[in-house]
Amino acid sequence: MADTSRKRHIAKTITWRLVGTVDTILISWVITGNPMTGLKIGVVEVVTKMVLYYFHERLWFRVSMPESRKRHLLKTVSWRMIGTLDTMILAWIISGNPLTGVKIGLVEIVTKMALYYLHERAWYRTNYGLRDRRNQKELG
Query: What's residue 52's pLDDT?
Result: 94
- 139 Cβ contact partners less than 8 Å away, ≥ 6 residues apart: none
Q: Tens of pLDDT along 103-124?
A: 999 999 999 889 988 998 999 8
Cα distances (angstroms) measured from residue 32 to each of 9, 28, 98, 99, 116:
33, 6, 12, 11, 24
The C-alpha atoms of residue 137 and residue 140 are separated, in whole angstroms, by: 5
Residues 6 or more apart from 14 whose CB is under 8 A from it?
Answer: 50
Kindly report the number of other CB atoms within 10 A of residue 36's CB atom. 11
Q: Is the pLDDT of residue 1 over 70?
A: no
Residues 6+ apart with CB under 8 A from 117: 72, 73, 76
Half-sphere exposure of 44 (CA within 13 A, CB side): 17
Given a contact cutoff of 8 angstroms between Cβ atoms, the answer to whether 88 and 104 are in contact is yes
pLDDT tens figures, 9-67: 889 888 988 999 999 999 999 999 999 999 999 999 989 988 998 899 899 989 888 88
Please list, in sequence order, all residues whose beta carbon lies within 8 angstroms of the beta carbon of residue 83, skipping any fewer than 6 positions away: 20, 49, 52, 53, 108, 112
Side chain identity at residue 72, one-letter code = H
